[in-house]
Structure 1
Amino acid sequence: MKKILRMAYLWTLLLIVVGLSGCSDDEPIAPLAEPVPLKMSLNSKDLVMGEVMEITFDVTGTEEGKKVMNEDLNIRLSAKTNRGAVDQLLFDDFPATVTLSKGETSKTVHVPVKQTGINREHNVELSAFARGYRMAGALQVVTISDFHYSKVSLKNNADKTVKEGQSFILVASVNSKLLDELTITIVPKEGEEERYVNLPSELVIPAGKSSVESAPIIMKKDENTKEDEELTLNLSTIPVATRYPLNEKQLIIKKIDVHKSMDTEVRDERWLYEDADLLFVSEKNEAALKSWGQTNYTVMKEGDPHPNNGNVLPKGKWKFFRAYEFHKISGCVMSKESNDGEYTSEEHPVGLADQNTGAVETQGAVDNVKFSWVTDEGYLRMISLKDKAKSSNTGNTFEFGTSAFYSCKFQRGNPNSPKWPAANVRIYPGMRIETRARIRGAHNSGMLPGIWLQGNEQVGGNAQWNGWPDFGEIDVMENNTKHPTMSYRTSVEQTFHLGDITPNTGKSKISPTVAVTDIAGTIGEFHIYWVEWVDNQTVRMGVNGKQTIELTQAEAERQGARWPFTDQVNSEGLYYILTMMFLHKAKPDYPSMEMSYLTARRMLKNNPDALIPRMEVDWVRFYIDDTYSDHGMPWRDDVILY
């Protein structure tokens, strides 16, 4: 820690010496004392008119931080939304600068929220900067409102969609502890009363609490209905004139009809799974899943038949092996610190590692702690923003931040690589991999969401095979968000990349591809993108219930390419990749990307339609057939992620 701080200090001095400074001309520049770590904390992140925000700056608990300040320190403060600065619009006497004087260990400033004139809610980015000092909590998002609003929502379900036969839970909440009891009445729209079992007529939040949950409510199955429909719950408060008014007086729930007609095999995931929302869970994690509040699940064991067994898929062929289900439970999520040390996530997925290669980090840094997380719904959400981010690979700071992961990567000759938590599956012939994913907010953004496989021979492998694309690449899904053809832009492509007979040319000899335009306009909904490494001669891909492309060794060699998809060439198998890359390696020009990662997180929690480029992965499932072998190679079979 001390070494890092001294490096930061020396770097700051170097900038001053060479004349680079972000300070105004009239600000004197004096030599800096050795920096000590600071922390900014707030008394509340939800305030209303007339309340006071308390901002505290103090030293933290490291050895350096036990010292008092050894110089006067000016801390610059700003408050803004995506529409600009709001320090004067929402606050009285907002301080542009706070001085922590020499000898002080902490200072608290009081910033009143305006007494009048504020309408609705404003998500405000409060940021602090002190030249030459690192500061924990330097960026925080605060909600400023005219009232403490109450609301009714679906627990762990921002999309507000419920399938027939499934249960859901209503949550009534206020963004502060109540001074007195609040009752919210719930009345279904006329004619929709019979859609529910156990729907409460009211939810009561006791004084001193901020939320209450209903018992599970069941959405009835109705064989007479054949289409999805929107259902309305009308809400009101008792008393009507309350200090906690409702932010919305209606809750709209989309009921998904399980009896509706099947779409085509490529457009409808029900060709593969009767209920693709059904969670897979291991016996080990079942109790934790129940505590999380999930009821729509099935316990899966290695060797269980694929749920589609004998329908679209051949009877008896594919058997369950492993899964990444992204359950928000201990063992599937972990705590991890961002690359710059500014943020710690408690929602980081276990068993995946940072794919922070040069090919991904062309215009932005991969910082999965800031730009990805496991959501309350149990999805892995991966976003890209115009928000400064630091690369843990190169140490460089980029204008953009993004997300990219890998798993199943094994480095030939490295005895430690099979011990990594990300080395939790061996991908060899005889395996089928399914990824349920959707892409939202990315249209025309200049991003390239993708699901890939590449050969592990590139990592410490044979020089004849370890250059791209000689080791082989399978693009299970790519979405070109700026493609000139609209049907391509709103659908996906699936591609193979193979190298030339002459190794290390750095160019694809052949790139057989298919544009799956049959799903154009629907990529914002979940589809299942799959690949089968059938054997050493054949690889095929598809979407939902349809095979879309197949490539064989004979066809590849007929076109002059070398065939890498064997367990002899890639003796360590293939590895799995999820990325939000930069299309054509260019900077995106997309205004809605200009926000902080914290603002994006809060926005998406309440608005699943926000225009923030992202890929959301519900699950990844691995199946094997009787020909599969792990070749006796070591891997982390103790890492259970479902």
Structure 2
Amino acid sequence: MKKILESTYLWMLLLLVVVVSMSGCSEDDGMSPLAEPVPLKMTLNSTDLVMGEVLEITFDVTGTEEGKKAMNEDLNIKLSATTDKGAVEQLIFDDFPSVVTLNKGETTKKIQIPVKKEGLNRERSVEISAFARGYRMTGALQIVTVSDYHYSKVSLKNNADNTVKEGQTFILVASVNTTLKDDLTITVTPKAGEEERYENLPSELVIPAGSNSIESAPVTMKKDVNTTEDEELTLDLATVPVMSRYPLQATKLAIMKIDIHKNMGSEVRDERWLYEDADQLFVSPKNETAIKAWGQTNYVVMKEGDPHPNSGKVLPEGKWKFFRAYEFHKISGCVMSKVSNDGEYTSDVHPVGLADQNTGAVETQGAVDNVKFSWVTDEGYLRMISLKDKAKSSNTGNTFEFGTSAFYSCKFQRGNPNSPTWPAANVRIYPGMRIETRARIRGADYSGMLPGIWLQGNEQVGGNAQWNGWPDFGEIDVMENNTKHPTPSYRTGVEQTFHLGDVKPNTGTSKISPTVAVTDIAGTIGDFHIYWVEWVDNQTVRMGVNGKQTIELTQADAERQGARWPFTDQVNSEGLYYILTMMFLHKAKPDYPSMEMSYLTARNMLKNNPNAQIPRMEIDWVRFYIDDTYSDHNMPWRSDVILY
């Protein structure tokens, strides 16, 4: 959706495939507000337009009690059309109005804006923005696709990265951004010499009249024991007839075949030391039917107590047993509907079981609005972004120039009988637990953001005054990426750090901060890695990346350096809680041009271009394992929230 424009008044902007954002009228407009502001609604006749077609925009105040009353004054609504490159009103449309006037007494205004009949040569996602001072508006922010033709395309279902491992299946999707009047046939031909890579590859995809898409049956990428390297394969595409009314957006589809027989990388770089196939979904018996309906085939049903896969035998055999997971499946029960902080946008792909980490430490330069700046993708990732896009904090009510995303779970407030009932209170983190997070960071280099995965002590929330100040309650930075570090190997690697307080409580500074720079993965943080922490017992905590332990801290070492040891289930009697966050590096405003866009534009860009330079962290899954020493201490928690 587009930028949320707020001043003294609140404006609600909505989405479609032209982003409409309303720019405010100034006091110089000579327009006084209504005694009782009337809710406005903006609707579009289409979200996909081509040369010569007409965009029809309707503003109305009907359908509400207030709307039954006529407008008591003229109302000027400002309109604009922009892309991520700037204004395009005159480049794409003929006679695009900068102001639409809803006259006194009118309850509906319909305008028609022609798309230029010639001169367009590609597809554009356009934001249209409307703003009216003093009025609540729904549907005000929408995105429209404008192009020279209605293009057809072929893609991999739920796989924007176009990567397929040997032995896995994939589904081809042929689509057009309009409803077809006649059948459309697209031929599919593997590149010469690559025919034997596939099983069940269709020779053509036919979109029937009256539809806009069709899916193939599952296609298998065959295993080949004679190959040991990844390989880029190509499918050649063509419409029949060639001079179709719906030309192909691209005549080739590149697919990266991931070879499962290639040599293992180092323990710190290769996640196969933990999982032979880390892409494979963990699925609960409860959710298996829904996973199949979603179209997923690469999964394993997991039950509490199942052993860790430990494919590279780097963990003690039989020690860690499966307990819970957040897999971010795009199915009912794992995603939910939620409204943004300002009420302008409703997401139906918001993750269940996580809550907003909208603390002052996170909201130094921007507001946390997870509804706008995070979502569960078609692939089943939790995508968290940061943008220079106005956002409102639900914590303080303040409006910031930037918007970002941050979550927590497993937070329990000592003395609050309601905290164990919250959906985010779904796991008790105590000694005897191992937590793995599979994540990647993209588009963030030099951005000024600080993507991170943390644990903190729950004693900070309503706990003992001797332990509830930072960092006395204890903090574990399982992964942080300093996107502006002057050393390239640090900037494109990660750091893992412990923060512990002084013997004297409430100093507000770390007595010790033992850290390790994991530079062995430098340059590969855009790929998925598994960042893990083990709360071994009340005396030991350790961290690692993929198959390698990178740092360990013991109570004896901490106390020897003059720090107090918070990582016990006596100090943190409610355990630790889990955090995912896109914070602002050094609490400073980022200065990164590619962040300057609306959240709707960013969503649309990332759907079509997974390599877009938009700062983000993507979480594939979070998995909790326990050993025989683990106990939940009979403390209540939401064991009924199953998120895998």
Q: CA deviation at 1:308?
A: 1.1
Q: How many residues align?
A: 627
User: Contact (CA 8 Å) 2:354, 2:409: kept in 1 or not?
Assistant: yes
- 2:233 maps to what in 1? 231
Within 2, Cα distance between the matches of 1:517 and 1:459?
A: 34
Distance of aligned partners of 1:536 and 1:148 in 2 relative to their CA distance in 1, 3 Å threshold = same
Within 2, Cα distance between the matches of 1:379 and 1:47?
A: 30
Distance of aligned partners of 1:24 and 1:273 in 2 relative to their CA distance in 1, 3 Å threshold = closer
TM-score computed with the length of structure 2 as normaliser: 0.96
Q: CA deviation at 1:243?
A: 1.1
User: Contact (CA 8 Å) 1:309, 1:318: kept in 2 or not?
Assistant: no
Q: How does 1:501-520 map to 2 (within 5 A)?
A: 501-520=503-522
Whether 1:76 aligns to 2:90 is no
- Which of 170, 195, 198 matches 1:196? 198
Within 2, Cα distance between the matches of 1:115 and 1:10?
A: 37
Query: SS in structure 2 opposite 1:234?
Result: strand
Q: CA deviation at 1:10?
A: 11
Gaps of 5+ in 1: 1-6, 12-20
Within 1, Cα distance between the matches of 2:10 and 2:406?
A: 32
Within 1, Cα distance between the matches of 2:441 and 2:640?
A: 31
Q: CA deviation at 1:38?
A: 1.5
Whether 1:105 aligns to 2:107 is yes
User: Contact (CA 8 Å) 2:24, 2:133: kept in 1 or not?
Assistant: no
Q: CA deviation at 1:69?
A: 2.8
- Which of 605, 608, 611 matches 1:606? 608
Q: CA deviation at 1:522?
A: 0.3
Distance of aligned partners of 1:157 and 1:135 in 2 relative to their CA distance in 1, 3 Å threshold = same
List per-residue Cα deviations over 1:53-111 (Å, max 9, x = no partner): 11111236554445443332111100011221111110011111112223333222111
Q: How does 1:215-294 map to 2 (within 5 A)?
A: 215-294=217-296
- Which of 320, 323, 342 matches 2:325? 323
- 1:535 maps to what in 2? 537
Query: SS in structure 1 opposite 2:559?
Result: helix
Within 1, Cα distance between the matches of 2:52 and 2:550?
A: 61
Distance of aligned partners of 1:148 and 1:25 in 2 relative to their CA distance in 1, 3 Å threshold = same
User: Contact (CA 8 Å) 1:9, 1:34: kept in 2 or not?
Assistant: no
**Aligned-residue CA RMSD in angstroms?**
1.6
Within 1, Cα distance between the matches of 2:318 and 2:581?
A: 33
Within 2, Cα distance between the matches of 1:10 and 1:118?
A: 36
Within 1, Cα distance between the matches of 2:529 and 2:279?
A: 11
Query: SS in structure 2 opposite 1:601?
Result: helix
- Which of 190, 207, 210 matches 2:209? 207
Whether 1:483 aligns to 2:485 is yes
List per-residue Cα deviations over 1:309-362 (Å, max 9, x = no partner): 781111121110000000000000000011111110011000000000000000
Q: How does 1:32-47 map to 2 (within 5 A)?
A: 32-47=34-49
- 1:575 maps to what in 2? 577
Q: CA deviation at 1:33?
A: 2.3
Within 1, Cα distance between the matches of 2:233 and 2:422?
A: 47
Q: CA deviation at 1:43?
A: 1.1
Within 1, Cα distance between the matches of 2:340 and 2:578?
A: 23
Query: SS in structure 2 opposite 1:285?
Result: helix
Query: SS in structure 2 opposite 1:335?
Result: strand
- 2:422 maps to what in 1? 420
- 2:634 maps to what in 1? 632
What letter matches 1:481 in structure 2? T
- 1:171 maps to what in 2? 173
Q: How does 1:107-506 map to 2 (within 5 A)?
A: 107-308=109-310, 311-506=313-508
User: Contact (CA 8 Å) 1:454, 1:576: kept in 2 or not?
Assistant: yes
Query: SS in structure 1 opposite 2:79?
Result: strand
User: Contact (CA 8 Å) 1:121, 1:146: kept in 2 or not?
Assistant: yes
User: Contact (CA 8 Å) 2:163, 2:256: kept in 1 or not?
Assistant: yes
Within 1, Cα distance between the matches of 2:479 and 2:422?
A: 26
What letter matches 1:36 in structure 2? V
Q: CA deviation at 1:546?
A: 0.3
Within 1, Cα distance between the matches of 2:396 and 2:39?
A: 24
Q: CA deviation at 1:617?
A: 0.2
User: Contact (CA 8 Å) 1:33, 1:71: kept in 2 or not?
Assistant: no
- 2:619 maps to what in 1? 617
Within 2, Cα distance between the matches of 1:259 and 1:404?
A: 37
What letter matches 2:533 in structure 1? V
Distance of aligned partners of 1:31 and 1:439 in 2 relative to their CA distance in 1, 3 Å threshold = closer
Query: SS in structure 1 opposite 2:187?
Result: strand
Query: SS in structure 2 opposite 1:284?
Result: helix
Distance of aligned partners of 1:33 and 1:9 in 2 relative to their CA distance in 1, 3 Å threshold = farther
Within 2, Cα distance between the matches of 1:609 and 1:182?
A: 30
Distance of aligned partners of 1:199 and 1:31 in 2 relative to their CA distance in 1, 3 Å threshold = closer
What letter matches 2:369 in structure 1? D
User: Contact (CA 8 Å) 1:309, 1:315: kept in 2 or not?
Assistant: no
What letter matches 2:345 in structure 1? Y
User: Contact (CA 8 Å) 2:275, 2:311: kept in 1 or not?
Assistant: no
Query: SS in structure 1 opposite 2:29?
Result: coil
User: Contact (CA 8 Å) 2:387, 2:599: kept in 1 or not?
Assistant: yes
User: Contact (CA 8 Å) 1:9, 1:32: kept in 2 or not?
Assistant: no
Q: CA deviation at 1:561?
A: 0.2
User: Contact (CA 8 Å) 1:182, 1:205: kept in 2 or not?
Assistant: yes
List per-residue Cα deviations over 1:344-385 (Å, max 9, x = no partner): 001100000000000000000000000000000000000000
What letter matches 1:122 in structure 2? R
User: Contact (CA 8 Å) 1:306, 1:320: kept in 2 or not?
Assistant: yes
List per-residue Cα deviations over 1:252-303 (Å, max 9, x = no partner): 0000000000000000000000000110000100000000000000000111
Query: SS in structure 1 opposite 2:439?
Result: strand
Within 2, Cα distance between the matches of 1:344 and 1:456?
A: 31
Q: How does 1:546-585 map to 2 (within 5 A)?
A: 546-585=548-587
User: Contact (CA 8 Å) 1:405, 1:577: kept in 2 or not?
Assistant: yes
Q: CA deviation at 1:236?
A: 0.5
Within 2, Cα distance between the matches of 1:100 and 1:22?
A: 15
List per-residue Cα deviations over 1:555-575 (Å, max 9, x = no partner): 000000000000000000000
Distance of aligned partners of 1:387 and 1:10 in 2 relative to their CA distance in 1, 3 Å threshold = closer
Within 1, Cα distance between the matches of 2:556 and 2:62?
A: 64
Gaps of 5+ in 2: 1-6, 12-22
List per-residue Cα deviations over 1:126-177 (Å, max 9, x = no partner): 1110101121121111111000000000000000000000000000000000
**Higher alpha-carbon deviation: 528-537 or 103-112:** 103-112
Q: CA deviation at 1:437?
A: 0.2
User: Contact (CA 8 Å) 2:272, 2:312: kept in 1 or not?
Assistant: no
Within 2, Cα distance between the matches of 1:38 and 1:570?
A: 51
**Higher alpha-carbon deviation: 631-640 or 30-39:** 30-39
**Higher alpha-carbon deviation: 90-99 or 520-529:** 90-99
**Higher alpha-carbon deviation: 35-44 or 235-244:** 35-44
List per-residue Cα deviations over 1:195-245 (Å, max 9, x = no partner): 000000000011111000000000000000000000000000001111100
